[in-house]
């Protein structure tokens, strides 16, 4: 029993360690000598120094850096205010210096991501944007404040403190009635025995109040970064880029092939609906539950490589491709689609039937190149089962097949002998209506996917 007695606090300690949740993350990180090199200056005669040196010459160089800085302002009601009773420090704008360390390439962004973000936010990407360099000489400080977010996507700040000789200048953070101290000078002198020189880093959310206590000696040099939620990964095709190979990623080559196909008078002469399976995999939540964001909404901004080339080439022909979810049940040989993620919930019938009947689903019939439609007996069964069904169906000509990647699942419960829960997986594909030969952008006479869109 006494053992158990001893264990309980340890277990508790482990538990509280595992669930610790602070609005910041901090530590030290060893870097290569070149990472500490700083170039600065407003003219062509840039100066150079190492932010890891401790010799007398290095300290002189720090003094020169301090002289080259401007007095730091702070934000008050969207205005930059100079007030040495509030903030006394030197600052240099990011245009006027260059640091050897590339934060985007270093592990720091990953470290901050893992340290600061958990739960749902953990799946979002972040980026750090260089903001300012500050030199806090003796008696410099910064009174309590919160960092003004620059843009709605900014969620925090990252501060790097360099191992330049200094004392004092601890950063205090306050949030929800708690206070924490980040004393970089102490952390760095305790880490001085490591082989690699270190920086101290701290990242915190924008709503955390913080202040820098007065520096009592030396130079405290910091470089700050604004932390942003990363937008969708850039489309692989900025206007300035011209890909030659691979062909499928070459916008012009994809466009030409499309134009040729659509100019062929024997190809869907009356127009119709084209389907394209996505070639790349996208980071969709595999299991979608009601209330989660609709992953189809931002897809067009994420598309990669050949998918992006295709999307852009279709747009250039004044066509309007849209992502749809395709669901298929083999045993019933039926394919349906929806233009939004659905929560099937409870169903007494086949999941595809349920999507059709209750979730704005559209039946997908497959078209042969000659224009005839592939039909299966089971589809006839559907029609005889629901003779008065709303008749929503679209004939799709699959240019490229939809595969098993990019599937999104919707949970449902079916009643057999016992209640059981299962997931129905749907595959994201791009669908686009095309008009008749000679007028492919004119889809006014086409009963295709556009007419079936639930948002229209
Ligand atoms: O230097 C620091 O530790 C923080 C500086 C700061 O709060 C700021 O620049 O807004
Ligand atoms: Fe700040």
Tens digit of each residue's pLDDT (9 = 90 or more) over 356-388: 888 889 999 998 877 788 877 776 777 777 766
| pLDDT value at 10 more than 90 | no
52-78 mean pLDDT: 91
What are the two backbone dihedrals, phi and then psi, of residue 366, each rounded to the nearest 5 degrees?
-95, 135
Q: Is the CB of 393 under 6 A from ligand 1?
A: no
Q: Is the CB of 26 under 6 A from ligand 1?
A: no
Tens digit of each residue's pLDDT (9 = 90 or more) over 103-124: 988 889 988 887 887 655 666 7
Average pLDDT, the chain: 85
Tens digit of each residue's pLDDT (9 = 90 or more) over 11-31: 666 666 665 678 898 999 999
130: in domain: yes
Q: How confident is the model at residue 1 (pLDDT cuts 50, 70, 90)?
A: very low
Residues 107 and 287: their CA atoms lie apart, in Å, by 30
Tens digit of each residue's pLDDT (9 = 90 or more) over 199-215: 999 999 888 999 999 99
Q: Is the CB of 215 under 6 A from ligand 1?
A: no
Read off the tokens for 350.
């086949």
Number of folded domains that form the chain: 2
326: in domain: yes
Residues 372 and 267 in one domain: yes
Q: Is the CB of 159 under 6 A from ligand 1?
A: yes
239: in domain: no
Residues 185 and 327 in one domain: no
* pLDDT computed for residue 236 by the predictor: 46
> What is the 167 CA–ligand 2 centroid distance (Å)?
19
Q: Looking at ligand 1, which atom is closest to the CA of residue 72?
A: 9
| pLDDT value at 235 more than 50 | no
Residues 50 and 163 in one domain: yes
Residues 177 and 290 in one domain: no
Within the chain, what is the greatest distance between any pair of CA atoms? 92
Residues 64 and 204 in one domain: yes
Q: Which of 132, 193, 129, 203 is nearest to 163 (CA)?
A: 193
166: in domain: yes
The secondary structure of residue 121, as a DSSP letter, is: G
Q: Please tell me whether the interface predicted TM-score (ipTM) of this complex is above 0.90.
A: yes
Residues 299 and 438 in one domain: yes
Residues 243 and 70: their CA atoms lie apart, in Å, by 45
The parent domain of residue 273 ranges over 247-452
Read off the tokens for 99.
């640091």
Choose the final residue of a domain: 199, 229, 259. 229
Choose the final residue of a domain: 171, 200, 229. 229
Looking at per-residue pLDDT, the higher value among 447 and 133 belongs to 133
Residues 185 and 68 in one domain: yes
Choose the final residue of a domain: 229, 256, 271. 229
Residues 327 and 325: their CA atoms lie apart, in Å, by 7
Residues 262 and 175 in one domain: no
| CATH number where 161 lies | 2.60.120.620
Residues 225 and 284 in one domain: no
242: in domain: no
The pLDDT > 90 percentage for the chain reads 43
Q: Whose CA is nearest to atom 8 of ligand 1?
A: 147
> What is the 188 CA–ligand 2 centroid distance (Å)?
20
Residues 213 and 261 in one domain: no
Residues 198 and 255 in one domain: no
13: in domain: no
Residues 260 and 354 in one domain: yes
32: in domain: yes
Read off the tokens for 363.
């039946």
Tens digit of each residue's pLDDT (9 = 90 or more) over 279-308: 777 777 788 887 788 888 878 877 877 788
Q: Is the CB of 91 under 6 A from ligand 1?
A: no
Tens digit of each residue's pLDDT (9 = 90 or more) over 192-201: 888 899 999 9
Q: Is the CB of 220 under 6 A from ligand 1?
A: no
| pLDDT value at 182 more than 90 | yes
236: in domain: no
Residues near 234 by beta carbon (within 8 Å), at least 6 away in sequence: none
* pLDDT computed for residue 231 by the predictor: 62
| pLDDT value at 144 more than 80 | yes
């Amino acid at each position: 029993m006494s053992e158990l007695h001893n264990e309980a606090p340890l277990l508790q300690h482990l538990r509280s360690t595992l669930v610790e949740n602070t609005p910041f993350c901090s530590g030290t990180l060893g870097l290569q000598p070149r990472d500490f090199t700083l170039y600065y200056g407003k003219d062509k005669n840039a100066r150079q120094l190492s932010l890891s040196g401790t010799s007398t010459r290095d300290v002189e160089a720090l003094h020169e850096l301090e002289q080259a800085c401007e007095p730091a302002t702070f934000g008050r009601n969207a205005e930059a205010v100079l007030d040495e009773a509030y903030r006394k420090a030197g600052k240099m704008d990011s245009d006027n210096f260059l640091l050897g360390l590339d934060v985007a390439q270093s592990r720091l962004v990953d470290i901050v991501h893992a340290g600061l973000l958990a739960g749902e936010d953990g799946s979002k990407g972040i980026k750090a944007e260089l903001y300012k360099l500050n030199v806090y000489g003796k008696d410099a400080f910064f009174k309590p404040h919160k960092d003004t977010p620059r843009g709605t996507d900014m969620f925090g700040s990252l501060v790097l403190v360099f191992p330049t000789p200094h004392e004092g200048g601890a950063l205090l953070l306050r949030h929800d009635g708690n206070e924490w101290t980040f004393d970089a000078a102490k952390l760095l002198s305790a880490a001085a025995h490591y082989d690699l020189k270190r920086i101290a880093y701290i990242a915190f959310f924008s709503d955390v109040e913080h202040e820098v206590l007065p520096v009592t000696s030396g130079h405290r040099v910091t470089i700050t970064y604004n932390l942003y939620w990363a937008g969708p990964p850039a489309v692989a095709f900025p206007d300035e880029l011209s890909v030659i190979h691979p062909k499928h990623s070459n916008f012009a080559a994809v466009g030409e092939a499309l134009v040729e196909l659509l100019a062929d008078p024997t190809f869907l002469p009356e127009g119709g609906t084209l389907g394209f399976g996505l070639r790349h995999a996208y980071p969709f939540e595999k299991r979608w539950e009601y209330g989660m964001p609709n992953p189809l909404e931002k897809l067009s901004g994420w598309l990669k490589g050949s998918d992006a080339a295709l999307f852009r080439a279709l747009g250039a022909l004044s066509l309007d491709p849209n992502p749809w979810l395709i669901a298929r049940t083999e045993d019933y040989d039926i394919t349906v689609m929806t233009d939004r993620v659905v929560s099937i919930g409870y169903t007494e019938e086949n999941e595809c039937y349920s999507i059709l009947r209750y979730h704005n689903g559209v039946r997908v019939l497959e078209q042969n190149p000659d224009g005839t439609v592939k039909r299966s007996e089971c589809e006839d069964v559907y029609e005889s089962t629901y003779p008065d069904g709303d008749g929503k169906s679209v004939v799709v000509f699959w240019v490229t097949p939809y595969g098993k990647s990019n599937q999104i699942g919707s949970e449902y419960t079916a009643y057999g002998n016992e209640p059981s829960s299962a997931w129905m997986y749907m595959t994201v594909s791009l669908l686009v209506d095309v008009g008749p030969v000679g007028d492919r952008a004119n889809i006014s006479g086409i009963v295709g996917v556009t007419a079936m869109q639930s948002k229209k």
